[in-house]
């Protein structure tokens, strides 16, 4: 096995706005009939759907929290996050526990994502990865780090830190809370 650790002296000080997905192993899963994938290094575990506790005044895509060995883990409905409505819970519905954030800053967060079904772990070579399209996928282009063609179908490679941005989700939660706390608008009766 090769070493993954590197020092900051070896890495360039350039931060790309949108980085193309790299070759490696990806966990593929189905969501709304489409195949998506996340880099296996971001995946902590896969569990059966269940035991969610709803949290009031959260954005619609946050379905609740689960207790994962003593830790509170928020669970995001990925379909709702993409603006495609809530996931219909079925026999193969699962929760993928994903680690997001920057390990260097010790700012990591475990988040669960609801998926229709987990497929498999696949090796995707660099030559199989195309840049993300600017339109036509039905989700925000900044959520996609690349498209991989495999067995005649495209797999949408997700940028986990954009899709599950804790800062963005906190902002949306505050906005949802503010809209619930604002007084109702009174209509002018014309008198």
Residue scoring higher pLDDT (125 or 22): 125
User: Once rounded to an integer, what is the mean pLDDT over residues 32-39?
Assistant: 93
Evaluate whether 63 touches 174 at the Cβ level (below 8 Å): no
Which of the four pLDDT bands, split at 50, 70 and 90, describes residue 46?
A: very high
Nearest to 117 by CA among 89, 150, 94, 87: 94
Is position 91 within any domain?
Answer: yes
Whether 3 shows a pLDDT value over 50: the answer reads: no
Range of the domain at 34: 25-172
Torsion over CA: 41, 100, 135, 82 (sign) = positive
Task: Report helix, strand or coil for 170.
Answer: helix
User: Once rounded to an integer, what is the mean pLDDT over residues 130-155?
Assistant: 83
Is position 114 within any domain?
Answer: yes
Is position 144 within any domain?
Answer: yes
Is position 148 within any domain?
Answer: yes
pLDDT computed for residue 9 by the predictor:
36
Instruction: State both tokens at 20.
Output: 């193309």
Direct distance between the N- and C-terminal alpha carbons of the chain, in angstroms, rounded to an integer: 79
What is the domain-level CATH number for residue 75?
2.40.50.180
Whether 176 shows a pLDDT value over 60: the answer reads: no
User: Once rounded to an integer, what is the mean pLDDT over residues 89-116?
Assistant: 86
| Global pTM value | 0.75
**Number of domains into which the chain is organized:** 1
Name, in order, each residue with C-beta under 8 angstroms of 110's C-beta and a sequence gap of 6 or more: 44, 68, 71, 73, 97, 98, 99, 100
Is position 70 within any domain?
Answer: yes
User: Once rounded to an integer, what is the mean pLDDT over residues 161-182?
Assistant: 66
DSSP 54: -
């Amino acid at each position: 096995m090769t070493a993954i650790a590197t020092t900051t002296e070896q890495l360039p000080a350039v931060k790309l706005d949108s980085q193309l997905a790299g070759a490696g192993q990806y966990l593929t899963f189905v969501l709304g009939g489409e195949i998506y994938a996340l880099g296996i290094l971001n995946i902590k575990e896969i569990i059966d759907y269940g035991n969610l506790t709803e949290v009031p005044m959260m954005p619609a895509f946050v379905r609740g929290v689960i207790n994962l060995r003593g830790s509170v883990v928020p669970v995001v409905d990925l379909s709702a996050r993409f603006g495609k409505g809530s996931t219909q819970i079925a026999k193969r519905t699962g929760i993928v526990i994903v680690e997001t954030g920057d390990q260097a800053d010790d700012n990591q967060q475990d988040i669960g994502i609801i998926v229709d079904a987990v497929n498999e772990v696949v090796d995707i070579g660099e030559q199989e990865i195309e840049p993300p399209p600017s339109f036509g996928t039905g989700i925000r282009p900044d959520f996609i780090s690349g498209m991989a063609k495999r067995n005649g179908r495209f797999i949408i490679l997700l940028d986990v830190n954009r899709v599950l941005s804790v800062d963005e989700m906190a902002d949306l939660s505050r906005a949802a809370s503010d809209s619930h706390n604002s007084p109702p608008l009174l209509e002018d009766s014309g008198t």
